[in-house]
A and B are shown apart, each in its own frame.
Chain A
């Protein structure tokens, strides 16, 4: 146990630099997936057949490709097409696109859960599609969408470790590098696991809070 604390003190600063990158990748891809997911969901419920079909196809394609393949494609294939991304950019873009499909389905479910009477009431006072969405549907859908959104945040935090496969020195990669150079696998990966857990627990509590609030409603 003494050895663990000694190693913890020694490796903590290096692992913390990984934590910073883990947070950057998670927040960056979360924001991107939210924006893209909202766009896909809006296209899906727009009532315009072409947009709806395009969105459904995009979502299925994205869902059908493993995240790691998407990351490889962005980081290793795109330069062949003349687009060079840094590892961090590719990680944020890849995870953002991958998760946008799940976000879109979550948002769509939230939007479709709103009572049709709400939409008719908005229309009956002259609101157009976008105004109805902005003023009536989306504010109510947020409450429904928040608990699963929180779960997506937790999954993205953990899946940010896949960025290590394209050399982003986030927490998992830092741990792997330390372990392979010191052979202290148990201590290092225990620390890595504890650090992920420490970041996840506030998110788990946040999801519970969202669920309680939605339940009250």
Chain B
């Protein structure tokens, strides 16, 4: 469904992606792990067209990702994104945040969009917060609203960019619970995360990235329990046993 072939990306002199080749199948959950600055988020941002890439090719269901082409709108409505810092629209209510895309991008009828918006808020356990504004919610609640907003576009895949990194530890579980449910329902997901437990339990595959290249990839349990590459072993040891 999502294909990356030899993707290169530089910010000035700094080459952050050095030939990434990977694919994500329909219904698959792929977690991308690796140290900070390794290029994990950049991959997601290139898939969604928030960043351009210099060389190689990215395609979503056969459609080439080109952030300057009109087709980017179609790709973005098919591949939603959930951000580390939620990026909800603070001037709109929770429900308005969720229906913004369906109403103004997909031009869905208002009644149907609002009805589905309420159902999605119920799905993420926030039905009673529909008329509040994002700043009135906790970080975990805001991230669940962001997931509902992504789902409202009825996407074929969702990209999660470190969705729990900005949350207090006690709020992480609620967000991961919603994501686990999505995975169980067959949603295609690409998740950049430091939550190794989530990756081990939920992901079908894990990509370990370091220095802009895929160092190791394979089934989640295999990569996370018996990493083959020394760099992966070192990273996992540091993450799982920081002391």
Contacts and interface: CB of A to CB of B under 8 A. Distances in A.
Given A117-B85, A136-B89, A140-B90, A123 B50 contact: yes
B89 A118 contact: yes
A139 B101 CA distance: 16
Contacts of A123: 49-50, 76
B48 interface: yes
B87 interface: yes
A186 interface: no
B73 A128 contact: yes
B105 interface: yes
B188 interface: no
Nearest to B79: A124
27 contacts: A117-B83, A117-B85, A118-B89, A120-B50, A120-B83, A121-B87, A123-B49, A124-B80, A124-B81, A124-B83, A125-B76, A125-B80, A125-B101, A125-B105, A125-B149, A126-B73, A126-B76, A126-B77, A126-B106, A127-B101, A128-B73, A135-B89, A135-B100, A139-B91, A140-B89, A140-B90, A140-B91
A115 to B, nearest CB: 8
Interface residues on B, range: 20 to 34
A3 to B, nearest CB: 56
Contacts of A140: 89-91
A127 B100 CA distance: 10
Contacts of B91: 139-140
Contacts of A131: 104-105
A134 to B, nearest CB: 9
Interface of A: 115, 117-118, 120-128, 131, 135-136, 139-140
A123 B106 CA distance: 13
Given A126-B105, A135-B100, 18 more contacts: A118-B89, A120-B50, A120-B87, A121-B87, A123-B49, A123-B76, A124-B48, A124-B50, A125-B149, A125-B150, A126-B73, A126-B76, A127-B101, A127-B104, A127-B105, A131-B104, A135-B104, A136-B89
A124 to B, nearest CB: 4
Nearest to B101: A125
A89 B149 CA distance: 49
Contacts of A117: 83, 85, 87
A77 B101 CA distance: 51
A133 B48 CA distance: 20
A126 B87 contact: no
A127 B72 CA distance: 10
Contacts of B89: 118, 121-122, 135-136, 140
Contacts of B50: 120, 123-124
B153 interface: yes
Interface string B63-95: 000000000011011001101010111110000
Nearest to B105: A126
Select the residue from B49, B85, B104 with max chain A CB neighbours within 10 A.
B104
Contact of A125 (B74, B77, B90): B77
A121 B150 CA distance: 10
Nearest to A136: B89
A123 B45 CA distance: 11
A136 B100 CA distance: 10
A212 to B, nearest CB: 18
A118 B90 CA distance: 9
A91 to B, nearest CB: 37
A136 B96 CA distance: 12
